[in-house]
Each structure stands twice: as C-alpha cells, then as structure tokens.
Amino acid sequence: MNLFKLVGFFSFVFLFTVLLIFTLNTISKAKVFKKDKIVTVKETKINPTKQPTKEPDNKIPEYKILYEITKRYDGGIDYYVLINKVDLKNSAFKKDIKSMIDELVEKKGTKISIEFHDNKRSLEISYRKFGEMKGLPKTDEEKKIIERSFVASYSGDMEVGIFLNTLMYFPGAFKTSSEVGKYVEIISYNPR
C-alpha cells in the first residue's frame, strides 16, 4: 500500500470516528428529549451590540436567534442562529463566529450549544433534523445547502463532547469539499 493510500485511509477513519461520536451524541440527546419531553421553542431577536475589546472598532456581526430549545441531556439550551453570508475568500469569518459565541455565552451562560447558519433554509433543514428529530436532509440539494451554509457549531460545557468547549467550522462538510473544505476544523474554544 503506498503512503498516499495509507494517509487517505487514516483520514477516512478519523472523519468516520468524529461523525460517529457526533451521531451517538445526537442519539443520546434524542432519547433524553423524548423521555423528558422538555421543549421550549421561541423566536428571539438580538440587536447587535458593540463589545469592548482590545480593538475599539471591533463590532460583533449581526445575528438572530431563530430557535431556542431545551434538549441537551444536561439541561443546556440549543440556539439556532442565522448570520450574514460568510465571505469564503479568507478565514476572517472565524473571528466573527468567536465574537458571537463570546457574546452569547456572556448573555445566556456556558451550558449552551449554538448552530450558526448563513442561510435560513440551511438552518431550517438542521432544525428539522436535530431540533424536531425528523431525520437527515432528504435531497442532494439539501445536503449541498448544509455543506455550504452550516458555518459553525459550538457546544459549551459539554462533558461528553470532543472537548469541554467544542467549536466546529463547517460541520456538515468534509475537508474534500471544493468550496469550504479548507475551513473544516474542530477546535477547543473557551469563550472569554
């Protein structure tokens, strides 16, 4: 077996393991969700605010919380957040995601999970899948929308996560994606 095939195989095993952990985590949430029947859904609009930072002109981008659901096994709250379309010319959007996480953690607490979508249809598809527990995206078109527009997810104080505070960029895509693959990443992120 040549070196490239071996590296490819281990990359596939790693991605498969990450997806398996993510899926099992979702399944465990679904069981608790159905057992306890804890559901709170409401639409919330948050006006952008200016945060004091080291750079005085650093504004937090606009965002809207479209859904707020209590479904985490530990009582944490899941937020489905709509953001402006990200510019894929560079990775500057990652800084914006972190600043939004910082603000939401400050306002809502540390035991939260957040999905950031830059397309309302992507958010609705994901909400149908995880919020309402109605299954995977149905069509190739929906999968493509999720791949491009599910920009990031954050899980804070999640003891069964990859990290205690896990931030994933483009969690609906693989590194092989021609459009967003170079930004696919899973990191530990501790809000300020």
Place of tokens 């999720």: 146
Give which of 173, 153, 175 is closest to 165, Cα–Cα: 153
The whole-number pLDDT of residue 128 equals 87
Helix (H, G, I), strand (E, B) or coil at 83: strand
- Cβ atoms of 15 and 54 closer than 8 Å: no
The whole-number pLDDT of residue 83 equals 98
Q: Where are the alpha helices (DSSP H) in the chain?
A: 3-36, 92-108, 120-126, 140-149
- pLDDT digit string (tens) for the chain, length 192 residues: 565 555 555 565 565 565 556 555 554 444 434 334 444 555 555 555 544 444 445 689 999 999 999 888 898 999 999 999 999 999 999 999 999 999 999 999 999 999 999 999 999 999 988 777 677 667 899 999 999 999 999 999 998 888 999 999 999 999 999 999 999 999 999 998
Helix (H, G, I), strand (E, B) or coil at 187: strand
Residue ranges making up the domain that contains 11: 3-188
Split into its structural domains, the chain has a count of 1
Give which of 154, 96, 130 is closest to 26, Cα–Cα: 130
pLDDT, tens digit (0-9, with 9 covering 90-100), for 48-64:
554 444 444 568 999 99
